[in-house]
Amino acid sequence: MIVRRRWTAAASTVILFSAVLSHPAPGTAAPADPAPPITVSATETAVVRVQLRDQAQLDRLVATGADLANRPRTRDGRILADLVLSGTQLADLTAQGATAIQIVQRAGDGSRNYAESVRAAQARTATGLRAPAGQRTATNTDTLHVQQAYWWTTTGQTFLQAQVATTATDDPDVEITVNWRTADGATGSFPLYRFEDSGEYQYHYALPQPVPGRPVQLTATSSLGGVSRAITPTLWPNATPPPVPVGYQKDFIDAYLTPVDIQSRIKRLARQYRDLVDVIDLPNKTQGYRRTAAAYLGDPAVAAVVVDSVRFGDQGMNGVQVRTVDPGRPNRPLTVGYRDRVLTVSLATDTGGKTVSTTDEVAAAINARQPDRFRATVEDGSTGLPMPVAGPVRLDDGLQGTEVPARPWTVQALRLGVHRDGSRVGVLAYSQEHAREWATPLVTLEFAERMLANARTDPATRELLEQVDIFVIPTVNPDGANYSFNDFNFQRKNLVNHCTGPARDPKNRTSWGVDINRNYTVGSYFDGYVGASANCLSGNYAGTAELSEAESRNVIALAQDHPNIKFAMNVHSYGGYFMWPPGAYRADGRVTLPRPSIDESTLFLDSARRIVGAIAQERGTVTWPSQTGPVADVLYSAAGNSADQLYYELGIFAWDFEVGNDRWNPATGQWEGVGFQPPFDEAHGESQEYAGGLVELVRVARDYAVAQPAG
Cα–Cα distance, 348 to 325 (Å, whole number): 10
Please name the helix (run of DSSP H) or strand (run of DSSP E) that holds residue 154, with its range, or none.
Answer: strand 144-154
CA distances from 387 to 196, 349, 379 (A): 53, 12, 11
Residue type for 352, please?
Answer: G
205 touches 23 (CB < 8 A): no
pLDDT at 378: 97
Establish whether 658 is a catalytic residue: yes
β-bridge mates for residue 157, sequence order: 154
What per-residue confidence (pLDDT) applies to 63?
Answer: 63
Q: What is the pTM of this model?
A: 0.87
pLDDT computed for residue 33 by the predictor: 47
- Span 421-471, pLDDT tens digits: 999 999 999 999 999 999 999 999 999 999 999 999 999 999 999 999 999
The per-residue pLDDT for 15 is 32
Half-sphere exposure for 585 (CA within 13 Å, toward CB): 25
Below-70 pLDDT ranges, the chain: 1-38, 62-65, 70-71, 73-77, 110-112, 114-140, 711
Looking at domain 259-287+404-490+548-707, its CATH superfamily turns out to be Zn peptidases (3.40.630.10)
Tell me the residue type at 125. Answer: T
Kindly report the CATH class assigned to 144-235: mainly beta
Query: Going by C-beta distance under 8 Å and a sequence separation of 6 or more, which residues neighbour residue 504?
Result: 294, 306, 308, 375, 377, 497
The confidence score (pLDDT) of residue 118 equals 62
Instruction: State residue 587's pLDDT score.
Output: 87
**Which residue in the list 175, 549, 658, 686 is annotated as catalytic?**
658
Instruction: Say whether the peptide bond before residue 259 is cis (omega within 30 degrees of 0).
Output: no
Q: Strands 425-431, 565-575: parallel, antiparallel or unpaired by DSSP?
A: parallel
Q: Three-state SS across 521-558?
A: CCCCHHHCCCCCECCCCCCCECCCCCCCCHHHHHHHHH
pLDDT, position 65: 66
Closest of 84, 19, 115, 104 to residue 680, by C-alpha: 115
Question: For 20-35, what is the HEC assignment?
Answer: CCCCCCCCCCCCCCCC
